[in-house]
Amino acid sequence: MAELSGIEVVVFDVLGTLVDEPSGLRAALRDAVPAADDAAADELLTLWRRRREREEQRIGQGDRTYANTEVIDAEAAQQAAGRAGLTDPAVIARLATAGQRLPPWDDSVAGLARLAQRFPVLGLSNASRTALLRLNAHAGLRWHQTLSAEAVPAYKPSPRVYQLAVEAAGCPPERVLMVAAHAWDLRAARTSGMRTAYVHRPSGDPPKPSDTFDQHFNGLHELVATLVRS
């Protein structure tokens, strides 16, 4: 693997990489449907995540006009509510904003704070501007700047999203490090010329043997220690 030398700016994916999205959504579903057991909650979570993935893919393929994550999450919440027999509009409305109340991984807040003492640190997320603002506040994530794919508008892995980060960084892409727990995210970033670092998370998308990312880490503290040394 390549050494992480020459890095000027570090860019982080947010959903799944710095916050535990599955646990946060599952907790919101259990709150909305108290009678649901673990199996039922997992079924609703799978339904939600598949709906969002499908709609983002449709937008990327040009089969749907761009809609931000607030719209798509509201649709997913409505579908989950229908499956669960939930009809209370107030409960469904709160469920639709569950993606704005996700817990950080144990190392995220301290890791970001330490890294930000040495590097400009950006967040790059598919989450809408408003959702990203509220998610950052809820999870306690501190950034120099956060970028929403809504600005393009597109969804990762569209090259336009990564170009947004490179332009904000103000340096050549080979001096910008993209950090994510999703191999698909890093593949697209690498295609855009960025350096790449995979951080393992329980719910992430692990690399394949054919992936050639610059570094792999078991957690954020390993990444931070390596960057600080280099």
Q: Which fold has domain 21-100?
A: DNA polymerase; domain 1 (1.10.150)
Does domain 9-20+102-229 bear CATH number 3.10.180.10?
Answer: no
List the chain domain ranges: 9-20+102-229, 21-100
Instruction: Give backbone dihedrals phi and psi of 209, rounded to 5 degrees, phi first.
Output: -55, -25
| b (16+ CB within 10 A) / e for 178-198 | bbbbbbebbbbbbebebbbbb
pLDDT averages per 10-residue partition of the chain, 230 residues:
86 98 95 92 96 96 97 97 95 97 98 96 98 97 96 97 98 98 98 98 94 96 92
| C-alpha–C-alpha distance, residues 73 and 213, integer Å | 31
| Whole-structure pTM value | 0.95
